[in-house]
Every structure is written in C-alpha cells, then in structure tokens.
Amino acid sequence: MEFSGAVLAGGRSERFGQDKARFVWRGRPLAEHVLASLARAGERFLVANRPYPEFGVPVHADVIPGGDSLSGLHSALVHARFDWVAVAACDLPYLSPEYWAFMSRAAGRTHARAVVAEGPTGWIEPLAAFYRKDLEPAARTQLEAGDLFLKHLVEAAEAEIVPWSELAPRFGARLFLNANRLEDLVGGADEQASG
C-alpha cells in the first residue's frame, strides 16, 4: 500500500526545554529517527511552523494554526499525496519501518478511515497512526469548532484500534516512549539500557 509519511514537529517543546525535533539522541536528531521509520513511505514531509532544512524533506506549516496537534494532523492530510497518511510525532524514536508496515497492512484491509494503536496503558496513540486523507474536512470542521481532542477525530473516523497485546511482543514495551521531558531520554533507564 502506498502512503504518505508526515512527522509533526510543530510543538513548542516547553516541558522539554529545547527543540525536540533537533535533539540528538543516539547520534541522530529525534525527528531523523522518526523520518527513518517512515523510509517506506511514498513521500515524507514535516509539519512545523519553523524551517528544518537539515532534514532534507519538505516542511509545511499549519494550514489552520493554533490547534496544537490537531492543526498538525490536519495539515498532514491537506498536503499528503496518497490516500493513506502515516502521522507521527517527532518525539517517538522507537517507531520503526516494521511498525509502519504492520499498521499499513491493517489499513489496507480495513473499511475504517483510521488505524490507531492502543498504548500500554490502554490509551490510544493518535500520533503514531494511519489516517485516510478524506478525513481532512472532518479535521477542519473540528478545528473551526475549537475542539482540539484528537480522540474525537479518531472516533469520527470509526478507527480500527490495534491492541497493545499485538504490538508489544513484536515491537517492545518502549514502542511509544515519547520524550516530553529531557529526563525521558537522558540519564534514565533508557540511556543506561542503550549502553
């Protein structure tokens, strides 16, 4: 299945204390790890409100700014060339090409307009998911109404939810580790495990 790959890097990184997309972890910026996970996408781009020439992919600003992650997701749907769009936050360095291949197989056989993973706590992971491009009007309407909850767009898409029990054995317990704070990546168990 051909798909677009969009990495959202539009956040202000306030809790992290510096630009997360550019933060070097295990020898590469976080955004580069996520872009590499989307290597099999038919196109890759960043959604961000600042330039990132170093990543070598197009960068698109929010079409409707001020809506947090939903603005980024909406812009990804606007700019994508393919019917399905893999949308990833820039702070999920454990995503892999194998993860996206697994999720794309689910997208290829579903009648839903989104395929979203369940995380280890039972919450969904809407920024490591596939969305159909034709959800763009629904995302726009939601933004214009001031409803910024990604979960509501997932519900409108009647998303297929991939259970954590199917993901953890394949991709490991750290799959959705996201770097909200610098301590999440530096000096903790994760760095010790990496040697």
Binding site for GTP: which residues? Answer: 8-10, 20, 62, 91
Q: Give the annotated binding-site residues.
A: 8-10, 20, 62, 91
Rounded Cα distance, 177 and 186, in Å? 13
Task: Determine phi and psi for 188, rounding to 5 degrees.
Answer: -95, -165
Q: Residues 86, 6: contact at Cβ < 8 Å?
A: yes
In DSSP terms, 29 is beta-bridged to 24
Structure tokens at 1: 């299945």
Q: Residues 103, 130: contact at Cβ < 8 Å?
A: yes
Q: Give the annotated binding-site residues for Mg(2+).
A: 91
